[in-house]
């Protein structure tokens, strides 16, 4: 009798001890798994530079919480450009992306990929595809861009679906030849949708213009920055001392018009004392002549 | 009685014939194959009946089906599905509340074929022992996936979830996902019997919770015929669910009420005494014998 009671009292704490040990073991094991998963998840929330999300995709953090990884956007893309990330790829497994250099977004007007999304990871508020911000084209390599080399390649400019808005060609003097114009492709972030057509079409072996996810392509001014000229316009006048008119110290027959045609030669009021070649002799070559 | 000298289900095959002794297994494999085929005939044949995968699918442009476990993870991570997503989740929830949550595991989940194969091979090779884990670990895993989702603000579990990895992989391309599936197979084969589906998988744990009120259950209309051959225990992926109903532990009615029963029906197949049958939870409980009558049985 005495033995059995002592055995019973002995077993109870042992059972409790075993239970606590089992629970602790499970908590530790599962906790370790959770830690590993959490770290892995954190690493994969930054999108690799070549992967562009479909139109209307939420910012990456929200996207990885909202995307259900069903692949409906992939299925409803009429051009089959979208892929689902495989486990070995450095982004959230099963989420959709496209690689612009392989197949850019064709910017369907009805945006079927967004319509297919059951979770709003692709924002259903996006109804105008030209308002999409999948990424931003960046002319990453001026040394290999053919237009920068002085050729009239212009392909990125021509293939851009937001023609002459997202990419413009800005004329610049070609200092190498001294007599030609460089047509510099300039991307305007207000209009670029990040479709990637320019990157796809760039004829160099490795594209000189590339589309990057917005977080990579865009900088941001510090919040306290104010642009003086913008503030001045808002206030309708100078915010500090009254603006003195700027005095330009120029050669005799040159004028400068602020915000207008810039530096120009004044129409000759009276015949120059000597020949015209001599009169402009001190000027750099690029400024000679009426046109660039 | 010993499983070592007689293959599991041999008695059933002898008494009922091979087909009757594999009926539910064959039906189950057909269901799994048919569901996968529905998803695959789009990308393979261009015949779009079902788009998507098990996380979310859209059938014939009318029927949305959403995995409610994913909706929960999404909500915890701070996002909100669209109306179609909600409707799909409601349909799936209603369906599994009726047929038993873990029916998903045995009738739909593609990973079930892999882990069943591992369990079968383990029986054939007579591999015993291995690691021990509580079957409640899966609830820990379930909680862990939700906590990680909340803390990281992403559906983190979906990055490695082998269930969707396999299903999505088969439809959209597998990549190195095969390595994960192979790891699960080897884990189940060498490390732990029914290790993944029976102890760890949080998807199964979630659907098990759904099955707590399921109407469709395995009933035991003839439990008095049990001859303790142990074949049902040998094949059952959740063997702990059988004993209370079979042996009327604490007066349990002749119906398997444990939510972790996957309704796979293998016990019905392998029982030569026709102890088990599919039935309704309440029907079986009402028509069952008064519970105390069986308490004299050994065990």
Across chain B, what does the average pLDDT equal? 86
- Where a domain ends, among B209, B235, B268? B209
Q: Is the pLDDT of residue B297 over 50?
A: no
- The beta-carbon neighbor of B85 closest among A34, A45, A119 is A119
Residue A84 contacts B, CB cutoff 8 Å: yes
Contacts of B149 in chain A (CB under 8 A): 65
- How near does any CA of chain B get to the CA of A112, in Å? 13
Length of chain B: 299
For chain B, the C-alpha Rg in angstroms (whole number) is 20
For residues B64 and B202, membership in a common domain is answered with: yes
**B82 and B179 assigned to the same domain:** yes
- Asked, for residue B284, whether it belongs to a domain, the answer is yes
Whether chain B has a CB inside 8 Å of the CB on A150: the answer is no
Q: What does the alpha-carbon distance between residue A157 and residue A197 come to, in Å, rounded to a whole number?
A: 10
Count of CA atoms in the C-beta half-sphere (13 A) of A58: 20
Q: Rounded to the nearest 5 degrees, what angle is found at the Cα of B105, between the Cα atoms of B87 and B124?
A: 165
Q: Shortest Cα distance from B45 to chain A (angstroms)?
A: 14
Question: Is residue B56 domain-shared with residue B154, that is, in the same domain?
Answer: yes
The verdict on A37 touching B (C-beta cutoff 8 Å) is yes
Residue A62, chain B, CB below 8 Å: the answer is yes
Please write the tens of the pLDDT for every residue from B101-149.
899 999 999 999 999 999 999 988 888 878 888 888 899 999 999 999 9
Find residue B58's DSSP bridge partners: B51, B64
B260 with B196, same domain: the answer is: no
Chain B residues within 8 A of A83 when measuring between CB atoms: 173
Q: Nearest-CA distance from A42 to chain B in Å?
A: 7
Model confidence band, residue B204 (pLDDT cutoffs 50, 70, 90): very high
What is the rounded CA–CA span in Å between residue B92 and residue B101? 10
Residue B18 lies in a domain: no
From the CB of residue B120, how many other CB atoms can be counted at a distance below 10 Å?
A: 13
Per-residue 3-state assignment (H helix, E strand, C coil) for chain A:
CHHHHHHHHHHHHHHHHHHHHHHHHHHHHHHHHHHHHHHHHHHCCCCCCCCECCCCECCHHHHHHHCCCCCHHHHHCCCCCCEECCCCCCCCCCCEEECCCCCCCCCCCCCHHHHHCCCCCECCCCCCHHHCCCCEEEECCCCCCCCCCCCCCCHHHHHCCCECCCEEEEEEEECCCCCEEEEEEEECCCCCCCCCHHHHHCCCCCCCEEEECHHHHCCCCCCCCCCHHHHHHHHCCCCCCCCCCCCCCCCCCEEEECCCCEEEECCCCCCCCCCHHHHCCCCCHHHCCCCC
For chain A, what percent of residues have pLDDT higher than 90? 51
Measure the CA–CA gap between A57 and A215, rounded to whole angstroms. 13
Q: Tell me what pLDDT residue A49 has.
A: 87
**B141 close contact with A: CB closer than 8 A:** yes
Q: For residue B15, tell me if it sits in a domain.
A: no
Residues of chain A predicted below pLDDT 70: 1-12, 268-292
| Residue B147, min C-alpha distance to chain A (Å) | 8
> What ipTM does the predicted assembly reach?
0.83
User: Residues B154, A45: contact at Cβ < 8 Å?
Assistant: yes
Residues 105-144 on A with a CB inside 8 Å of B are 116-121, 124
Res. B29: pLDDT tops 70: yes
Question: Do B200 and B237 sit in the same domain of this protein?
Answer: no
What domain range is B133 assigned to? 25-209
pLDDT for residue B276 is more than 80: yes
Report helix, strand or coil for B88.
helix
Tokens of B233: 């225990």
A171 interfacial to chain B (CB closer than 8 Å): no
B48 touches chain A (CB under 8 A): yes
pLDDT at A273: 54
Measure the CA–CA gap between A70 and B53, rounded to whole angstroms: 5
When CB atoms are compared, the residue of B42, B57, B168 closest to A84 is B168
A135-A141-A144 Cα angle (round to 5) = 135
Q: Does B150 touch chain A (CB under 8 A)?
A: no
The answer to whether A27 contacts chain B (CB < 8 Å) is yes
| Higher pLDDT pick, B248 / B1 | B248
pLDDT of residue A3: 47
- Asked if residue B8 belongs to a domain, the reply is no
Which pLDDT belongs to residue B3? 43
How close A30 comes to chain B (CA, Å)? 6
List all residues of chain B from 164 to 223 with a beta carbon under 8 Å from chain A: 164-165, 168-169, 171-177, 180
Chain B contacts in chain A segment 189-218 (CB below 8 A): none
- Token couple for B21: 């002794």
Residue located via tokens 């179609």? B84
pLDDT of residue B299 exceeding 60, the answer is no
- Residue listed under structure tokens 């045995």: B106
Q: Note if the pTM is more than 0.90.
A: no
Please write the tens of the pLDDT for every residue from A86-133: 888 888 889 999 999 999 999 999 999 999 999 989 999 999 999 999
Give the C-alpha separation, B268 to B236, whole Å. 10
Residues B234 and B250 both lie in one domain:
yes
Nearest-5° Cα angle at A68, A63 to A72: 105
Q: Is B116 on the interface with A (CB under 8 A)?
A: no
| Domain shared by B31 and B92, yes or no | yes
Identity of the residue in A34, A93, A121 whose CB atom sits nearest the CB atom of B147: A34
Q: Which residues pair with A52 in a beta bridge?
A: A98
A211 φ, ψ (degrees, to nearest 5): -100, 130
Measure B70 CA to nearest chain A CA, in Å: 7
Domain edge (last residue) among B191, B209, B227: B209
**Contact call for residues B149 and B156 (beta carbons, < 8 A):** yes
pLDDT score for B284: 55
**Are residue B234 and residue B193 in the same domain, yes or no?**
no
Instruction: Tell me the average pLDDT of chain A.
Output: 85
Residues of A with CB below 8 A from B67's CB?
68
Across the interface, whether the CB atoms of A26 and B155 are under 8 A apart is answered no
Nearest to A69 among B144, B149, B164 (CB): B164
Inspect the interface and report whether the beta carbons of A71 and B52 lie closer than 8 Å: yes
- Please say whether the beta carbons of A132 and A193 come within 8 A: yes
pLDDT of residue B292: 42
Number of structural domains (chain B) is 2
Q: What's residue A106's pLDDT?
A: 95
A66 part of contact set with chain B, CB < 8 Å: yes
**Residue B120 and residue B32 in one domain:** yes
| CB < 8 Å to A117, chain B | 82
Q: Are residues B98 and B72 located together in one domain of the fold?
A: yes
Q: Is residue B9 part of a domain?
A: no
Which of B209, B228, B244 terminates a domain? The answer is B209
- Asked if residue B10 is part of any domain, the answer here is no
Alpha helices (H) in B8-110, listed in sequence order: 10-16, 23-45, 68-76, 83-99, 103
pLDDT at B249 over 70: yes
The answer to whether the Cα torsion of A158, A159, A165, A169 is positive or negative is: negative
Neighbour-count burial for B193-206, b at 16+ CB within 10 Å, e otherwise: bbbbbbbbbbbbbb
Q: Is B70 on the interface with A (CB under 8 A)?
A: yes
The residue of A58, A63, A75, A126 whose CB has the most chain B CBs within 10 angstroms, and thus the best one to mutate to test that interface, is: A75
Q: Residue B51 class from Cβ within 10 Å (0-12 exposed, 13-18 middle, 19+ buried)?
A: buried
- Indicate whether B37 and B167 sit together in one domain: yes
Q: What is the pLDDT of residues B256-272, one digit of tens each?
A: 888 889 999 999 999 88
Nearest to A216 by CA among A194, A200, A197, A199: A194
A113: closest CA of chain B, how far (Å): 12
Residue A51 C-alpha, separation from nearest chain B C-alpha, in angstroms: 17
Is there a contact between B85 and A68 if contact means CB atoms under 8 Å apart?
A: yes
Q: Is residue B167 part of a domain?
A: yes
Q: Do A34 and B64 touch (CB under 8 A)?
A: no
The verdict on A41 touching B (C-beta cutoff 8 Å) is yes
The beta-carbon neighbor of B173 closest among A76, A86, A117 is A86
Nearest one of B151, B146, B82, B77 to A65, comparing CA atoms: B77
B105 and B248 assigned to the same domain: no
Residue B1 within a domain: no
What pLDDT, on a 0 to 100 scale, did the predictor assign at position B289? 47
């Amino acid at each position: 009798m005495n033995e059995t009671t002592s055995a019973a009292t002995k077993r109870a704490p042992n059972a409790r001890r075993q239970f606590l040990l089992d629970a602790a073991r499970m908590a530790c094991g599962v906790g370790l798994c959770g830690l590993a998963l959490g770290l892995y998840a954190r690493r994969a929330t930054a999108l690799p530079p070549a992967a562009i999300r479909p139109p209307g995709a939420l910012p990456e953090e929200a996207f990885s919480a909202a995307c259900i990884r069903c692949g409906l956007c992939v299925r409803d893309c009429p051009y089959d450009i979208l892929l689902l990330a495989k486990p070995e790829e450095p982004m959230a497994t099963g989420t959709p992306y496209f690689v612009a250099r392989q197949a850019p977004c064709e910017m369907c007007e009805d945006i079927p990929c967004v319509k297919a999304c059951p979770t709003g990871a692709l924002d259903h508020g996006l109804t105008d595809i030209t308002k999409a911000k999948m990424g931003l084209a960046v002319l990453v390599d001026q040394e290999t861009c053919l237009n920068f080399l002085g050729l009239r390649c212009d392909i990125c400019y021509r293939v851009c679906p937001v023609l002459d808005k997202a990419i413009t060609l800005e004329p610049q003097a070609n200092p190498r030849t001294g007599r030609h114009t460089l047509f510099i492709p300039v991307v305007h972030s207000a209009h670029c949708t990040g479709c990637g057509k320019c990157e796809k079409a760039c004829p160099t072996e490795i594209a000189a213009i590339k589309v990057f996810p917005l977080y990579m392509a865009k900088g941001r001014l510090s919040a306290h920055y104010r642009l003086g000229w913008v503030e001045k316009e808002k206030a309708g006048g100078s915010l500090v001392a009254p603006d003195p008119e700027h005095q330009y110290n120029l050669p005799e027959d040159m004028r400068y018009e602020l915000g207008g045609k810039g530096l120009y030669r004044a129409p000759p009021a009276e015949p120059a004392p000597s020949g015209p070649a001599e009169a402009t002799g001190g000027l750099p070559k690029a400024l000679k002549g009426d046109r660039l | 009685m010993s499983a070592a000298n007689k293959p599991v289900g041999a008695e059933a095959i002898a008494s009922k014939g091979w087909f009757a002794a594999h009926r539910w297994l064959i039906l189950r494999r057909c269901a799994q194959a048919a569901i996968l085929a529905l998803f695959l005939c789009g990308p393979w044949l261009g015949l779009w009946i079902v788009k998507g995968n098990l996380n979310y699918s859209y059938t014939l442009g009318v029927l949305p089906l959403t995995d409610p476990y994913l909706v929960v993870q999404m909500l915890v991570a701070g996002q909100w599905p669209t109306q179609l997503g909600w409707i799909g989740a409601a349909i799936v929830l209603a369906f599994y509340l009726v047929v038993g949550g873990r029916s998903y595991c045995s009738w739909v989940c593609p990973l079930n074929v892999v882990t069943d194969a591992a369990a079968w091979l383990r029986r054939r090779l007579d591999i015993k022992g291995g690691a021990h884990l509580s079957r409640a670990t899966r609830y820990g895993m379930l909680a862990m996936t939700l906590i990680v989702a909340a803390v990281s603000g992403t559906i983190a579990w979906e990055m490695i979830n082998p269930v969707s990895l396999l299903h999505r992989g088969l439809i959209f391309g597998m990549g190195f996902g095969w390595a994960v599936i192979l790891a699960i197979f080897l884990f189940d084969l060498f490390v732990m019997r029914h290790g993944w589906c029976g102890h760890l998988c949080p998807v199964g744990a979630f659907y098990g919770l759904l099955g707590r009120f399921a109407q469709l259950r395995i009933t035991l209309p003839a439990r008095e015929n049990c001859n303790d051959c142990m074949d049902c225990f040998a094949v059952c992926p959740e063997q702990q669910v059988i004993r209370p109903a079979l042996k009327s532990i604490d007066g349990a009615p002749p119906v398997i009420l444990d939510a972790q029963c996957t309704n796979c029906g293998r016990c019905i197949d392998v029982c030569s005494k026709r102890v088990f049958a599919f039935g309704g939870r309440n029907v079986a409980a009402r028509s069952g014998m008064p519970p105390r009558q069986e308490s004299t049985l050994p065990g």
